[in-house]
Amino acid sequence: MITLAALAQLAEQHAADLDAPVAPFRVGGEEIDTVNDPVLMGVVNLSRDSSYRESIAVSAESAVRKSRVQAAEGAQLIDVGAESSRASAARADDEDQEHLLTPVVEQLTADGIPVSVEAYREPVARAGLAAGACVLNLTGSDDDDRMFTLAAEYGASVVLCHVLGPNARALTGEDVDPDPIPRMLELFGERIERARRLGVTSLAIDPGLGFGFRLHDQRARAQYQATALLHSFRLRQLGVPVCHALPHAFDIFEDQFRSAEGFFAALAHLGGTGIYRSHEIPLVRSVLDAMHSFTAEPAATSGNAAE
């Protein structure tokens, strides 16, 4: 339940984590302090199976156009993927994904637009990084050592997704932990340490609210996502930014579902998120601008405010 009393209790219980420092996140050679300058990650899907129809690019030209629009709207990073994480989606083999990703990443890199490539297979990740991607959005954990070594080879940042298995679709999530943070702290901590030992110098963590579990009751799923967003600041003790793919909650918002990411962005901000993966860049940017302006120290004024 989201109430002032519940939020106050949450903050009091975990006060030490509220302002825990986190390392900058490197995007395209720039070190970004995500606490004060949150990163907006736009989304372009090269798979036609994506549930978010507006993000689907039907060709390389379409993907480049959509990416340029999102960059103009304020996205500092574009996440490009060639296979949907939906359980019912068709699988795309490595060669097909490479064929789809390479020309898009090459063109965006040539345009000066930083690119994140979503991958869980080493050949796909290598193709994306070789084409110029500066971030690896790692959506699996079975091949961590090779993926970390590859990212270090290209000097890429890595977003570690909470996917305990080969990929998101391999997860069943039948037993959703009511408080997943302690387990995430343990597992993310181990992976962060391993990544650094293998040469990765810029990391973020993604609790995987978009695909890391499967709840058949969609309203219960949305409530779980909202709660997890508010608790995300507890992960800051790991010292790296928290990245969230903002939920859609279609069963809650129905025909207004495109506004859902704005609502969840406000919760994510309260929860200390540093990187926002969004299909609705202008909406989320305006929400974050408002949240930051309302939490900033008020500017000094002169004269009588009542005049």
The residue extents of the domains of the chain are: 36-293
Region of 155 (left: φ > 0; alpha: ψ -120 to 50; beta: rest) is left
- Among residues of the chain, what percentage have pLDDT more than 70? 85
pLDDT at 282 over 60: yes
| Predicted pLDDT at 15 | 96
pLDDT at 174 over 60: no
Is residue 167 very low, low, confident or very high in pLDDT (cuts 50, 70, 90)?
low
Residues 201, 136 contacting (CB under 8 angstroms): no
Question: Residue 86, Cβ neighbours under 10 Å: how many?
Answer: 14
Query: Which whole number is the average pLDDT over 152-181?
Result: 78
- The dihedrals phi and psi of 161, each to the nearest 5 degrees, come to -90, 145
Higher pLDDT, 104 or 208: 104
| Predicted pLDDT at 212 | 46
pLDDT at 280 over 50: yes
| Predicted pLDDT at 91 | 65
The residue written with tokens 């996140």 in the block is 25
Give the separation between CA 59 and CA 47, rounded to whole angstroms. 10
Picking from 113, 115, 137, the residue whose alpha carbon sits closest to that of residue 125 is 137
The H or E element spanning position 62 is helix 60-73
Secondary-structure class of domain 36-293 per CATH = alpha beta
The tens digit of pLDDT for each residue in 7-45 reads 999 999 999 999 999 999 999 999 999 999 999 999 999
Q: What is the mean pLDDT of the chain?
A: 88
| Predicted pLDDT at 305 | 46
Give the separation between CA 45 and CA 267, rounded to whole angstroms. 25
Question: Residue 130, Cβ neighbours under 10 Å: how many?
Answer: 15
| Predicted pLDDT at 118 | 94
Query: Which whole number is the average pLDDT over 164-187?
Result: 74
Is residue 250 very low, low, confident or very high in pLDDT (cuts 50, 70, 90)?
confident
| Predicted pLDDT at 66 | 95
Region of 162 (left: φ > 0; alpha: ψ -120 to 50; beta: rest) is beta
> Which residues on neighbouring strands pair with residue 245, listed in sequence order?
277
239: number of CA atoms within 13 Å, CB side? 7
| Predicted pLDDT at 294 | 87
pLDDT at 239 over 90: yes
55-59, 140-144, 281-285: range with lowest mean pLDDT:
55-59
Following CA atoms 255, 259, 261, 264 in sequence, which dihedral angle do they give, to the nearest 10 degrees? -100
Higher pLDDT, 90 or 135: 135
pLDDT at 304 over 90: no
pLDDT at 192 over 80: yes
pLDDT at 70 over 70: yes
pLDDT at 107 over 80: yes
| Predicted pLDDT at 171 | 60
SS3 for 74-126 is CCCEEEEECCCCCCCCCCCCHHHHHHHHHHHHHHHHHCCCCEEEEECCHHHHH
Picking from 94, 89, 95, 117, the residue whose alpha carbon sits closest to that of residue 105 is 117
252: number of CA atoms within 13 Å, CB side? 19
Query: Which whole number is the average pLDDT over 253-276?
Result: 94
Residue type, 56: I
Higher pLDDT, 52 or 236: 236
pTM, full prediction: 0.91
pLDDT at 306 over 50: no
Query: Which whole number is the average pLDDT over 196-213?
Result: 86
Residue type, 54: E
